[in-house]
Amino acid sequence: MNLPISNQKTKTFKVGLYIRLSREDGDKEESSSITNQREILKRFVNENENFFIVKEYVDDGWTGTNFNRPSFKEMIKDIEKGIIDTVITKDLSRLGRDYIDTGYYLQRYFPEHQVRYIALLDNIDTMEDAGMSDIAPFKSIINDMYVKDISKKIRSSLTERRKAGNFLGVTAPYGYSKDSENKYHLVVNPKEAKIVKRVFNLYLQGNGLTKIAQILTKDNVPVPGKARNIGKTRQTVLYNSWKQTTIRRILENRVYLGDLVQFKRKNVNYKSKIRINVPEEDRVICKGTHEPIIKQEDFDKVQEILKGNKSFKGTKHDYLFKGLLFCAECGARLNVTYSNYALKKYGEYRYTTICYSYSRLYSDICTRHSNSIPVLEELLIKHIKEVCQKYISNDLQDELVKLAEQEKRKERQKFDYVQRIKELEQKIEDNSLYMKNLYKDKVKGIVSEEDYINLTGEFAKDRDSYIKEKSELEKLLQQKDTKKEDINKLEKLAKEFISLEKPTKQLLNELIEKITISENHEITIYYKFSELNQFEKDKNKTIKEAEVVNNRNKKYEVA
């Protein structure tokens, strides 16, 4: 229950202590340590009898240049739930060092949510000065300038290290390892270097990127990620297969000449984590920093061939279901291909699907999965329209009747929730006063230390229970009626789909998650709405359609 600022001196404040420490923006001094901040804040709270610590929020190792910090975001959620109504930090820089965002919280967010903010060492207290101290904006700017200066010094230091030929990457390039005696120096990894040499030799022998990837995959050569035990949690069927992009990166990397090319990417600025590519002329290049794996003449020949191959511009194919079709067997995307033979024979291209694994990697991994694009689109549009029509005709009315009944029950529940929240707020307030009075009695000698510890433990347990129950009830109250919104959205999309002779890509992407197709042409559609997915399960499993092109007498099934 929030009170106007003018009445806050008579209330008990539910305090959240916010503590932050970051090496990145220059917080190195011992006085800013987590322990030191905690002691200062707790001492202040103990000296003020109407303050009661509800929760402590610690962001250790998080920069103050932005507010995308886990504990800070948790604190904001607790403010909106009413769990805390006061935030205390050691100084303004602990809250944040970006003067724009810090100003937003000080001058907009905290006042609008009736939250009292205190920065102890900067003498800022929004209850004493609701309009904020005149010096606060200037302190925020100074904090921001401090981080900017630190960032500039760090960048300057990194630039000097790069120019000196130090390797600053987290992981050594494939083919090398970090020197055990000097982590800024690269040494040849014999096992990986052998694969790098083989890739260059295969390319110089006339093999293309796809062919090299297929050869390495067939020979069970571990991909770089597997060789270094990286990315195990996101392994797929294709994880152990070499890719064209991996081969190209190896062939284009000057590190194999013994040179270091660094500063390829950089942050937009010191406040942003977004990284952009640095133009080649601005990159830091140091020659002869480590032992080469590839000879200069071989590397130059490879670059000349790569440059010549880049001049070919492949045809970009676009079709209605692009990005939605996947292989049922290996999970890879189904791309589109065409045949020049069909152009010569029929006077037009015949577009068909082809599994990425089959076309780009090695054919043993999967099969072709050839499906006529025009026939496939016609089949899918017809089938999805039938599903949408069936939903609107049968299921929609039942859903709306159920929703009306649920609305009545929800209204009764909401009333009960509001009443219970009021009771809990009073209990939390009373509980806080009991603990404050108990502390006074302990100081006066009326209550023993042992009784004080036992009683405060019981009060704290009750308080936590009240706060948790209140938070859960408030979540239930804040929950949007997403079910009703989803049904209204689905009804609109389904009717729009039925009305169009050929739907748009945008409409398809709003309705469908993905579509899988097996080698024997069994199709499974995964909708973004459970109502449509349920209908897919209940309907007749085999809907046969037109024959595939090339007179192969293959037929589709939508399963």
184 backbone dihedrals φ, ψ, rounded to 5°:
-90, 5
* Mean pLDDT value of segment 72-92: 91
* Mean pLDDT value of segment 164-193: 84
* Mean pLDDT value of segment 200-204: 90
pLDDT, residue 285, reads 76
Co-location of 240 and 105 in the same domain: no
pLDDT, residue 536, reads 63
Co-location of 189 and 324 in the same domain: no
DSSP track, 240-256? TS--HHHHHHHHH-GGG
pLDDT over 90 percentage in the chain: 9
Co-location of 222 and 95 in the same domain: no
Q: Evaluate whether residue 166 is within a structural domain.
A: no
Co-location of 401 and 508 in the same domain: yes
CB neighbours of 258 closer than 8 A, spacing ≥ 6? 287, 288, 289, 290, 291, 292
pLDDT, residue 73, reads 92
* Domain region containing 326: 314-414+461-559
Last residue of a domain, one of 134, 150, 166: 150
Report the chain's mean pLDDT, rounded to a whole number. 75
pLDDT, residue 131, reads 44
**Local confidence band at 74 (pLDDT 50, 70, 90 cut-offs):** very high
Co-location of 260 and 278 in the same domain: yes
Co-location of 296 and 398 in the same domain: no
- Model confidence at 140: pLDDT above 60: no
Where is average pLDDT lowest: 47-61, 74-88, 153-167? Answer: 153-167
Where is average pLDDT lowest: 183-192, 320-329, 347-356, 520-529? Answer: 347-356
Q: Where are the alpha helices (DSSP H) in 208-243?
A: 209-218, 224-227
Q: Is the dihedral of CA 269, 275, 279, 283 positive or negative?
A: positive
- Number of separate domains in the chain: 3
Co-location of 319 and 382 in the same domain: yes
The string of pLDDT tens digits covering residues 423-480 is 888 888 887 777 777 777 777 788 787 877 777 778 778 877 888 888 888 777 766 5
Nearest-angstrom CA–CA distance, 383 and 376 = 11
Nearest-angstrom CA–CA distance, 484 and 505 = 25
What is the separation of C-alpha 325 from the centre of its chain, rounded to a whole number of angstroms?
A: 24
Where is average pLDDT lowest: 10-14, 44-48, 142-146, 261-265? Answer: 142-146
- Model confidence at 198: pLDDT above 90: yes
pLDDT, residue 543, reads 36
Nearest-angstrom CA–CA distance, 470 and 420 = 8
Q: Is the dihedral of CA 176, 177, 181, 183 positive or negative?
A: positive
- Model confidence at 30: pLDDT above 50: no
pLDDT, residue 76, reads 93
The string of pLDDT tens digits covering residues 311-324 is 444 455 667 888 88
Three-class DSSP category at 102: helix
- Model confidence at 491: pLDDT above 90: no
3-state helix, strand, coil in the chain (%, to 5): 55, 15, 30
CA distances (Å), 183 to each of 193, 230, 236, in order?
19, 20, 32
Co-location of 180 and 246 in the same domain: yes
The residue ranking higher by pLDDT, 118 or 240, is 118
Q: Evaluate whether residue 304 is within a structural domain.
A: yes
Q: Evaluate whether residue 131 is within a structural domain.
A: yes
Q: Evaluate whether residue 557 is within a structural domain.
A: yes
pLDDT, residue 558, reads 62
pLDDT, residue 64, reads 79
pLDDT, residue 87, reads 94
Co-location of 135 and 255 in the same domain: no
CA distances (Å), 414 to each of 410, 417, 418, 474, 479, in order?
6, 5, 6, 10, 11
Three-class DSSP category at 517: strand
**Local confidence band at 250 (pLDDT 50, 70, 90 cut-offs):** very high
Co-location of 527 and 407 in the same domain: yes
Q: Evaluate whether residue 423 is within a structural domain.
A: no
- Model confidence at 544: pLDDT above 50: no
**Local confidence band at 552 (pLDDT 50, 70, 90 cut-offs):** very low
Co-location of 321 and 230 in the same domain: no
Co-location of 185 and 142 in the same domain: no
Q: Evaluate whether residue 389 is within a structural domain.
A: yes
The string of pLDDT tens digits covering residues 499-533 is 888 888 888 888 889 999 988 888 889 988 877 77
Q: What is the pTM of this model?
A: 0.43
Q: Evaluate whether residue 165 is within a structural domain.
A: no
CATH number at residue 246: 3.90.1750.20
CB neighbours of 4 closer than 8 A, spacing ≥ 6? 114
Q: Evaluate whether residue 64 is within a structural domain.
A: yes
